[in-house]
Chain A
Amino acid sequence: MAPLLALRDVDARYGPIHALHGVTLTVDEGEIVALLGANGAGKTTTLRAISGTVRRSGTIEFAGTPLGRRGPESVARLGIAHVPEGRGTFSELTVWENLRLGAYVRRGSVRADAARVLQYFPWIESRSSQQAGTLSGGEQQMLALARAVMQRPRLLLLDEPSLGLAPLVVAEIFRIVQELVKNEGTTVLLVEQNARSSLAVSDRAYVLEVGRVAVEGSSAELAENESIRRSYLGY
């Protein structure tokens, strides 16, 4: 079966800086794939290349459709939700308005979508008119995830969801991600520096180093391989 997402020889640049050098990876439907590596390895850039936020060359195919030179607005309409580094919360708007924006590309009733989302994040209902910027870090991360779920994406790109959060909160977020994959059939590409937790929750993983794929394999194998863990994952 063809993979849901396929990157072949993808290069990306920030002006004169060459950030990705021929990244090749695939994600199958229903999988959780982790993208690991040190700071500056190109993990965030890879997600940005997929969502069209950064200039890239090479081939990116989603459900058989080449993404070409589409920008983020168009990529979102294809069914890819990108939760960026820093969460992308609309701090000045209310929690409810953030959720409504999540459903922007969808037709039909926002309320029906919201009911579904509230099953995963029941606490949102009581805070819906609160200004999103006044939520705590963990709550904002969950709101960002909720926003992405409103979009009913086929592919969810998550950029460092655990950044700056307490371990208890991180565990909760990863639990919700697993539920989403199981119940909604969402596919997830997860970028993380926290290798241990992400290997525990993912099926497969790629390790990036200086803009290239250095290691790939099933998460279970990578977690057991001591030399790989020590050289690439820092533990």
Chain B
Amino acid sequence: MAVSQLTRTLVPTIRIRWSAWIVPALLAGGCIFLVVGSIQSSLFAQQTVSGLANGGIYASLAVALVLIYRATEVINFAQGALATFTTFVAWQLLQWGLSYWPTFVLTLAIAFALGVIVELVAIRPVERRGNVLTVVIASIGLLILLEGAVGWIWKPTVRFMPSPFPLHFWHVGGVAFSSQDIGTIGVSIASVVVLWAFFRFTKLGLAMRAAAVRPHAARLVGVRVSWLLSLGWGLAATLGAVAGLLVAPNPSVQLSPSMMDGILIYAFAAAVLGGLESSIGAVVAGLAIGVVLSLLGSYVSWVTPQLQLPAAFVLMLIVLLVKPSGLFGRTTVRKV
């Protein structure tokens, strides 16, 4: 048909840029490095796995941040505090005698509801007349409020949170891996995959993706964009709740009002490093940050515990200077 021939000549050819291959190549190289190192040294293997476990936590929270950022361009500073609050709720349910896995499921449901309520009550009124920065400040206010609420309701003493995974060590090739680490990696990855599947295959997930990229066009096909925004906050809070439940049993973290502060920082870094619009990027970056921190701490002697954070951020800065839109971010062309 004449029309198809005409249109086919007008379709632009897609050129493959060399920079599109650098990131996958580097990641592949990194993976090979980790595998080789793990085979050579049992300490390396252990540190890699525990690094991946921490990274899984950062990744979960990072995906939650990306979810909200994609829809609203807002970095939700209260994401960690929401997780802390729901983890304390879980602790309370356990105290009241509920057994672990029912508590886990109930906590996720409560987290979802809390996310929706927070969006309706605290965020939407601000979004109505404000801009992105105003909403960010509101999220900082929310952070202060939630951490304060935890301290008020449960008193700021540090508490013990049991682990869902029985204390057990897996021995592979002479190296001992804790079930806590393996379980954390498994559950974090699983929850992110479930979320991915939701977005990819369900009608609601498609609607949310559409609403995030083109809210006006989405409304025209009947998508209730504002309801979906609340839904997004609910999902983000649920992911955060998973992260909180996984990290609270960790003896170096423990259940306290400021439990997620450090993790939020790394999650924020992972989200940005991954490219802010991409959940895959957030996951990859989160895992990478976890592993790099773990290995840096063990192998590079001048990186004392205090210098861990600055060292990690210097590395991140280098990555961002080379690729300012993040690992998987799209370089946007700004129209003049």
Q: Which residues of A contact B (CB under 8 A)?
A: 51, 53, 71-73, 76-77, 81-82, 84, 88-93, 97, 100-102, 104-105, 123, 134-139, 147, 151, 166, 168-169, 172
Contact = CB atoms under 8 A, between A and B. Distances in A.
A120 B7 CA distance: 16
Interface in B1-47: 2-4, 6-7, 10-12, 14
Residue with the greatest number of chain A CB neighbours at <10 A, chosen from B3, B10, B203, B222: B222
B155 interface: no
Interface string B219-232: 11111110000000
A175 to B, nearest CB: 10
Contacts of A72: 219-220, 222
B209 interface: yes
B10 A77 contact: no
Given A88-B214, A168-B6, A51 B207 contact: no
Contact of A136 (B11, B219, B224): B11
A71 to B, nearest CB: 7
A190 to B, nearest CB: 17
Given A90-B210, A93-B213, A51 B220 contact: yes
B98 interface: no
A166 B6 CA distance: 9
B193 to A, nearest CB: 20
28 contacts: A53-B220, A72-B220, A73-B219, A73-B223, A82-B220, A88-B214, A88-B217, A89-B217, A90-B214, A90-B217, A90-B218, A91-B214, A92-B209, A92-B213, A97-B210, A101-B221, A101-B223, A102-B221, A105-B222, A123-B4, A134-B11, A134-B14, A138-B3, A138-B10, A139-B11, A151-B222, A169-B6, A172-B3
A232 B42 CA distance: 83
A151 to B, nearest CB: 7
Nearest to B277: A92
A138 B223 CA distance: 25
Contacts of A135: 11
Given A90-B213, A104-B222, 20 more contacts: A51-B220, A71-B219, A72-B219, A72-B222, A76-B219, A84-B217, A88-B217, A93-B206, A97-B206, A101-B210, A102-B221, A104-B207, A134-B12, A136-B7, A138-B7, A139-B11, A151-B221, A151-B222, A168-B6, A169-B6
Contacts of B220: 51, 53, 72, 76, 81-82, 84, 88
Given A134-B12, A134-B14, A101 B3 contact: no
B210 A93 contact: yes
A147 B221 contact: yes
B222 A76 contact: yes
Contacts of B214: 88, 90-91
Contacts of A136: 7, 10-11
A90 B213 CA distance: 7
Contacts of A92: 209, 213
- Across the A-B interface, the 7 shortest Cβ-Cβ residue pairs: A88-B217, A76-B222, A105-B222, A72-B219, A136-B10, A172-B3, A136-B7
Contacts of B4: 123
Nearest to A147: B221
A207 to B, nearest CB: 26
A102 B217 CA distance: 10
B221 A104 contact: yes
B324 to A, nearest CB: 20
Nearest to A171: B3
A232 to B, nearest CB: 29
Contacts of B218: 90, 101
Contacts of B3: 138, 168-169, 172
Residue with the greatest number of chain B CB neighbours at <10 A, chosen from A53, A72, A76: A72
A135 B14 CA distance: 12
A187 to B, nearest CB: 17
B2 to A, nearest CB: 6
A141 to B, nearest CB: 10
B222 A73 contact: yes
A169 B225 contact: no
Nearest to B213: A92
